[in-house]
């Protein structure tokens, strides 16, 4: 890193308090992300260090809550990746790395990669504050350097085909890969296609309970997409800051949809185990419709309240990890043994 690769101003994280202009800028940034996802933006949307401060305190914080849900699921399933070298591709302010480093022990070297070098500076500074001993490099590893864990967060949807190939080439070298993305249909289906590309060399750690082709990419399921809902922390509903965020940007804080896939390089095959319930159960009177995914594909099953009273009460809780050994008779679920450690 050269001595010029740095900020020339001193930032004060306590000075964030967004002004009216800041809220407008956040709305503009959000538009830019959506435009980029729709293939309508070619260049970087970042303009200033203030952009990163605002983003990190708001959109990135929400992305952090999604990473919390993913890491919780991997932990509950006993499938947390490990390794010393981590690459965060399209790192932005580095929220994904910060969450992973906080819950995966043993990481020593982090590569922060982004087409915006200012983003990598911000990510580096934020990471180093809490982890001063980490080695941090602001570019991708050279061809002969190992990659233990590759992260990509909220970037797949905005990549041109060549950039996606670049990311997939890095993923192909990694021992573990985790992608966390927006829970929208186009982005989730794009992630499904990435999963298919990596399957020949990887097993799926989560959310799938199998490493077969994705049942939602099957013919006739074009309108469906794999996604989940994370549970925001209490502060999202109690703090004046988040209320203002919700009012200013028209974002419903209760809904935090995300899509993800975590993969491990093929080794000992992971035995397929259980059924993962996708999206949100559809609650009807006395019964619920569950989108059940397993190695045989995705099928809608009915859970009757009288068959599973305590479970039924939890079905409308956002962020509930529904992973179970399920036995069905026809479309009716007759046994649902949770594997989610609850
Ligand atoms: C929506 S932001 C997400 C940032 C971060 N990963 C997160 O989850 O908060 C997408 C990031 O990807 C970066 N990006 C977009 N296209 C890229 C490319 N072709 N190569 C590297 N980074 C790219 C952008 O500069 C931006 O920082």
d(CA 39, ligand 1 centre) in Å = 14
Task: Please give the pLDDT value at position 320.
Answer: 87
Residue 127 Cβ inside 6 Å of ligand 1? The answer reads no
Whole-number pLDDT of residue 341: 65
Cis peptide before 58 (omega within 30 of 0): no
At the fourth CATH level, the homologous superfamily of domain 20-265 is Vaccinia Virus protein VP39 (3.40.50.150)
User: Cα dihedral sign for 243, 322, 341, 81?
Assistant: negative
Residue 50: C-alpha distances to residues 20, 84, 117 (Å) = 13, 32, 15
Q: Is the CB of 97 under 6 A from ligand 1?
A: no
44 lines ligand 1 (CB under 6 A): yes
- Is there an atom of ligand 1 within 6 Å of 115 CB? yes
Q: Which of 63, 64, 92 to mutate to test the pocket of ligand 1 (most atoms within 8 A of CB)?
A: 92
Q: Which segments of the chain does DSSP mark as H helices, in order?
A: 20-37, 49-57, 59-76, 95-103, 117-130, 161-173, 185-198, 235-238, 240-249, 309-314
**For residue 84, what pLDDT is reported?**
98
The answer to whether 89 and 140 have CB atoms below 8 angstroms apart is: yes
Q: What is the distance in A from the centroid of ligand 1 to the CA of 92?
A: 5
Residue 15's pLDDT is 53
* Per-residue confidence in pLDDT tens, the chain, 342 aa: 333 455 444 444 445 789 999 999 999 999 999 888 876 655 789 999 999 999 999 999 999 999 999 999 999 999 999 999 999 999 999 999 999 999 999 999 999 999 999 999 999 999 999 999 999 999 999 999 999 999 999 999 999 999 999 999 999 999 999 999 999 999 999 999 999 999 999 999 999 999 999 999 999 999 999 999 999 999 999 999 999 999 999 999 988 999 999 999 998 777 778 999 999 999 999 999 999 999 999 999 999 999 988 899 889 887 889 999 999 999 999 999 998 866
Write b or e for each residue in 78-104: b if 16 or more Cβ atoms lie within 10 A of its Cβ, otherwise e. Answer: ebbbebebbbbbbbbbbbbbbbbbeeb
Write out the DSSP string of 137-156. Answer: ESSPPPTTS-EEEEEEES-G
pTM for this prediction: 0.93
């Amino acid at each position: 890193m050269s001595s010029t690769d740095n900020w020339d101003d001193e930032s004060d994280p306590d000075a964030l308090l967004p002004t009216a202009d800041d809220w407008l800028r956040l709305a503009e940034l959000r538009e830019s992300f959506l435009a980029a996802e729709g293939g309508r933006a070619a260049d970087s949307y970042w303009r200033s260090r203030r952009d990163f401060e605002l983003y990190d305190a708001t959109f990135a914080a929400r992305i952090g809550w999604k990473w919390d849900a993913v890491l919780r699921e991997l932990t509950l399933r006993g499938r947390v990746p490990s390794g010393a070298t981590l690459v965060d591709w399209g790192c932005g302010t580095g929220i994904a790395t910060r969450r992973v480093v906080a819950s995966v022990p043993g990481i020593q070297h982090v590569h922060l990669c982004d087409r915006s070098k200012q983003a990598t500076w911000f990510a580096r500074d934020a990471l180093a504050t809490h982890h001063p001993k980490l080695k941090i490099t602001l570019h991708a590893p050279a061809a002969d350097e190992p990659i233990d864990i590759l992260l990509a967060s909220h970037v797949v949807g905005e990549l041109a085909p060549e950039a996606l190939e670049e990311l997939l080439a890095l993923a192909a070298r990694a021992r573990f890969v985790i992608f966390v993305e927006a829970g929208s249909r186009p982005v989730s289906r794009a992630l499904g296609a990435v999963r298919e590309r990596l399957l020949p060399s990887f097993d799926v750690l989560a959310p799938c309970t199998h490493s077969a082709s994705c049942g939602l990419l099957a013919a006739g399921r074009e309108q469906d997409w794999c996604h989940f809902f994370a549970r925001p922390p209490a502060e999202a509903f109690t703090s004046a800051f988040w209320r203002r965020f919700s009012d200013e940007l028209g974002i419903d804080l209760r809904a935090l949809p995300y899509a993800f896939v975590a993969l491990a390089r093929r080794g000992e095959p992971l035995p397929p185990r259980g059924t993962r319930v996708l999206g949100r159960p559809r609650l009807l009177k006395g019964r619920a419709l569950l989108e059940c995914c397993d190695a045989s594909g995705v099928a809608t099953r009915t859970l009757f309240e009288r068959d599973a009273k305590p479970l039924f009460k939890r079905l409308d809780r956002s962020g509930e990890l529904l992973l179970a050994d399920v036995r069905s008779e026809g479309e009716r679920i007759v046994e649902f043994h949770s594997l989610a450690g609850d």
